[in-house]
Structure 1
Amino acid sequence: MIAGLAVLPATLPAPVLAATAEPDPIFAAIQVCITAQQNADEAYARVNRLLASARERFGAGDDQRRARHAFVERTLGCDEDAYTDGPSAILWDAYHNFADTVPTTLAGLFAMLIFADGIEQRGDLVLDDMTILSRFATAAEILGGGAA
């Protein structure tokens, strides 16, 4: 095990040392995603609670669908899709910003990998169309002392 340490550099590469002087922007991007996810989850949860309440009041059949949606719309002040569109758009933008952010520290790179995996584990496909893999590579090259 100690022999393996011989392959480690004696000092951190200059880009790593320089990057640690400032906060890594990936942590802020992750926090924005977490907050946006909570807000979107709350909006969807409120709509789901209202729909459940409407089913109890008016019934669950197709004949009562119009009454259920009217109840939800009156309560929210708008259509349920319009109510959730805002928080969903903010979350989408937060995920895009996250995917476009290049970590500047090794801890940030690990945090980005872990957070991206969490998004995948949730079953969200939002990162599929984004260039996040190139951000991982760019950060790894910079942190490893290579050129990006």
Structure 2
Amino acid sequence: MKDLDQKWRSWKYDLRTKFFTPYQKVQQDSLACSDTRVVEDQWKNLVQIWSSEEFKDNIRDIKLTQQSSISSSIASVGDAYEQVMGWDRTGRIRGIGTGPTPKSLWGSRSEQKLRQDNESLKEKIDALEERMKKIESRGNNK
């Protein structure tokens, strides 16, 4: 059932992106869809919904919510949930739905390893630069 819902939403999204331009006023040409699989009355209803101010406000709110939730992720690798429930190996994240995958949310495990290695190398470089400055200052004092 979730798969059917996802496909239905995806179908409507594809129709909207291919055949509907939101910044234009509703005109006769936008009330006709060139896809033969779409029933004309249903297309007219969709265009009216997509053109309504309420729909535009909802989309604006969703975009704002998504922007703020991206900057503050609530889940992290190794969190308490993962420790209790175990690591998901199916390509999905429990409790979040069918949309996000572990890679899309956290990046791949190899990317995480590279980030950790990168951080440790930066720390080593900083320590070596500090040590080099001390040695140079000793040489200048003599």
TM-score range, shorter chain: under 0.3
- TM-score relative to the length of structure 1: 0.27
Determine which structure has the larger helix proportion and give its number.
Answer: 1
Whichever of the two has the greater Rg, that structure is 2
- TM-score relative to the length of structure 2: 0.28
